[in-house]
Amino acid sequence: MNRSTVAARTLVLHVGIHKTASTYIQHRLKANPAFLRQQRLLYPSRRSEHLRLVKALRRGDLQPWEQLLQQARQQDSRALVSAEILSLVLAEPGDRSAGSLLSELLHWLSAQDIGLELVAFVRDQPTYLNSRYTQLLKRFYLASSFRRYVRQTLRRGGESNCDYLELFGEALDRPEVRCHFLPFRAGEADPCERLLQAVGVADLSALGPLAEQANVQPGWQAVWIARRLARQLSEHYPQAWNSPACKAQIRQDLERLATEQGWPAAPFQGLTEPLLASIEQRYGASNDRFARRVWGCSWRELFPRPTPQASPARPRSPEERQALQALADQLLAVGLRQAPAADQA
């Protein structure tokens, strides 16, 4: 079996985690189809195709995966799937056995003599939780304070689970999985290029750039407005709170407003010393075990302890509060036009 045939019998999964430039990576990969074909990588062009694969895996339907891998074989290429939610999904219990969805996927791949290559960017939890909270709040998935969000995540994990041994311990234990864990830190090289290099792409000279930035943090003022609106929607406009169209409209307008006002220059920073201590107590031992197993060093050698520098928690003057409240009211009024009729009254 020649080298290209062996490569074609490999599935590459980029699994995030959340808030490690996944959207940027996906946009840049999508913008470079000719380069990926040249590198014998089959990357579905639409985001919905990647999410369809994730949904199918969750319900035990591997037919879409079979179709993708068959297409990859026909093109003598490796299939590359990118979905940050896979960092959580693969650890979920499967339906067909007592094992995880990763275990079920590996069993199915093994029957077809297909290997699995997994790439994950790993981020220090304090900065991850700060960024993830901002993302969830501006999408109106929650209405809680940052402190409460962190406390709940430390207790229950859930959609923000960032215990890397819980997420990836099984992959590390399975010799048939080739794992690449890449530290996500300031000052590192381009994440898309790092991902491609991890899976064996040596020459990146023909990889086109990506002009736009994806998922820029909107700034602490936008976060304050988002939380105010989230509380109003969840408490007083239940149908709007459950309306994707309403939330999408408000989010779009809020992000546009933040850019116009220059708010991203002052990002939200919710970390305090007591929260940092709680995060270290929860993840410290697990982080060190993970780091020594993967990189052969301590966690803090790669991720120095951050210094908490909290941004303003609320408007700094009555005038600023009045101005931000007025902007919030305008955003709410426009968003409610997308809500079911009962909430527009």
What integer best gives the mean pLDDT of the chain? Answer: 94
pLDDT digit string, tens, across residues 28-52: 999 999 999 999 999 999 999 999 9
Q: Assess whether 16 and 147 both reside in one domain.
A: no
Asked, as a colleague might, if the bond just before 85 is cis with ω within 30 of 0, I would say: no
Residues 180 and 292 in one domain: no
Domain range for 327:
125-160+216-296+308-345
Domain shared by 100 and 237, yes or no: no
DSSP letter at 162? -
On whether residue 183 sits in a domain, the answer given is: yes
Residue 335 in this model has a pLDDT that exceeds 60:
yes
Query: What average pLDDT score do residues 2-26 get?
Result: 84
Same domain? For 131 and 227 the reply is yes
Residue matched to tokens 């410290």: 284
* Together in a domain, 317 and 248: yes
- Looking at the structure of the chain, the number of domains it has is 2
Whether residues 181 and 156 share a domain: the answer is no
- Please give the pLDDT value at position 6: 53
Tell me if 302 is assigned to some domain.
Answer: no
The CA distance from 25 to 63, in Å, is 26
Q: Are residues 119 and 134 both part of a single domain?
A: no
The predicted structure's pLDDT at residue 293: 98
Whether residue 284 lies inside any domain: the answer is yes
Q: Which residues contact 55 (CB under 8 A, 6 or more apart)?
A: none
Please give the model's pTM, rounded to 2 decimal places.
0.94
Percent of the chain whose predicted confidence (pLDDT) is above 70: 95
Alpha helices in the chain (DSSP H): 3-8, 22-30, 33-38, 47-58, 63-74, 86-89, 101-111, 125-138, 146-156, 164-173, 191-198, 220-236, 238-241, 244-261, 273-294, 299-302, 318-336
Is 37 within the bounds of a domain? yes
Q: Are residues 90 and 229 in the same domain?
A: no
Of 198, 224, 250, the domain-final residue: 198
Same domain, 257 and 312: yes
Residue pLDDT, tens place only, 143-158:
999 999 999 999 999 9
Q: Is 333 inside any structural domain?
A: yes
CATH (domain of 37): 3.40.50
67-123 pLDDT, tens digit per residue, is: 999 999 999 999 999 999 999 999 999 877 669 999 999 999 999 999 999 999 999
Please report which confidence band the pLDDT of residue 1 belongs to, taking 50, 70 and 90 as the band edges.
very low
273 found inside a domain = yes
The pLDDT of residue 3 is 47
71 and 147 in a single domain? The answer is no
Query: Among 198, 224, 257, which residue terminates a domain?
Result: 198
**Does position 8 have pLDDT exceeding 80, yes or no?**
no
Say if CB 28 and CB 192 are below 8 A apart.
yes
Looking at the structure, tell me whether residues 236 and 275 fall in a common domain.
yes
State in Å, rounded, how far the first CA of the chain is from the last one.
Answer: 68
Could you tell me if residue 207 is inside a domain? no
Q: Is residue 68 part of a domain?
A: yes
Identify whether residues 132 and 25 lie together within a single domain: no
